[in-house]
Structure 1
């Protein structure tokens, strides 16, 4: 698979994502459901702790990708939902720490929402991955 960044402007690169990507040569695609800060039984974890929730949501995303034989390097699109966008952005260094080693900056949308599926959840991330 070959990825070519499309960035008519450079500001988003500093925030860790491309405006678009041209994907060529991909033969498999995985659509990941939104991953949140829940344990293996679906119980919410890290109530009131945005940083803890982002970290666990990323762990859960990586587990889904691993189950499909992929890693964060295969992610080509992210959708992020947060009940407090400012608090999420304060902790977005976690995104860079996870995606940075893979040298990918997938296009991303961050949306503020009034709540997520379970009341204690503050952060959710969904992904599309290709190989």
Structure 2
């Protein structure tokens, strides 16, 4: 089947329950007729010079979002195109304490994404959080 470049991408959210609404994610997103997909490597609180942050969790979350947004925008996509956000952290309890930052960013950009949060033993050097994303348009 050939892809018609004039077909509009469709996104359908699948939520069998309501509880996830308060947590700013959805259970599934079906994407039809996407013209392109962007797979973004995990973005962390790393400076322009490649130096890993040793700041607190809240600061690292903000910096990780800034870096993720920079990659998204430089690719020609928009944050609203985000369909999957995986969050890796060295401390899920501490991440939850500052999750409002991520929720505000997602709400501001009208994102309805699937998401998985994973606590890992460690991340690169002194990093505490890493954001991995998939976008479609």
- TM-score bracket, normalised by the shorter chain, equals over 0.9
Task: Note the residue ranges of structure 1 that are not aligned, 5 or more in a row.
Answer: none
Counterpart CA distance in 2 for 1:5 and 1:106 is 9
**Residues 56, 48 of structure 1: alpha-carbon distance in 2 compared, 3 angstrom cutoff:** closer
TM normalised by structure 2 equals 0.90
Could you tell me which residue of structure 2 aligns to residue 11 of structure 1?
Answer: 19
- More displaced stretch, 54-63 vs 89-98: 89-98
Counterpart CA distance in 2 for 1:62 and 1:51 is 17
Equivalent residues in 2 for 1:33-48, closer than 5 Å = 33-45=41-53, 47-48=54-55
Q: CA deviation at 1:74?
A: 0.7
Spell out, residue by residue over 1:66-118, the C-alpha distance to the aligned partner (whole angstroms, 9 max, x if none).
11111210111111100000110111111121111221120000000010022
Spell out, residue by residue over 1:42-61, the C-alpha distance to the aligned partner (whole angstroms, 9 max, x if none).
1012x241010000000000
Please, what is the CA RMSD of the aligned residues? 1.0
SS in structure 1 at match of 2:35: coil
Runs (4+) off by over 3 Å:
none
Task: Note the residue ranges of structure 2 that are not aligned, 5 or more in a row.
Answer: 1-8
| Number of aligned residues | 129
Equivalent residues in 2 for 1:111-130, closer than 5 Å = 111-118=118-125, 120-130=126-136
Counterpart CA distance in 2 for 1:15 and 1:38 is 26
Equivalent residues in 2 for 1:1-131, closer than 5 Å = 1-45=9-53, 47-118=54-125, 120-131=126-137
Counterpart CA distance in 1 for 2:48 and 2:124 is 16
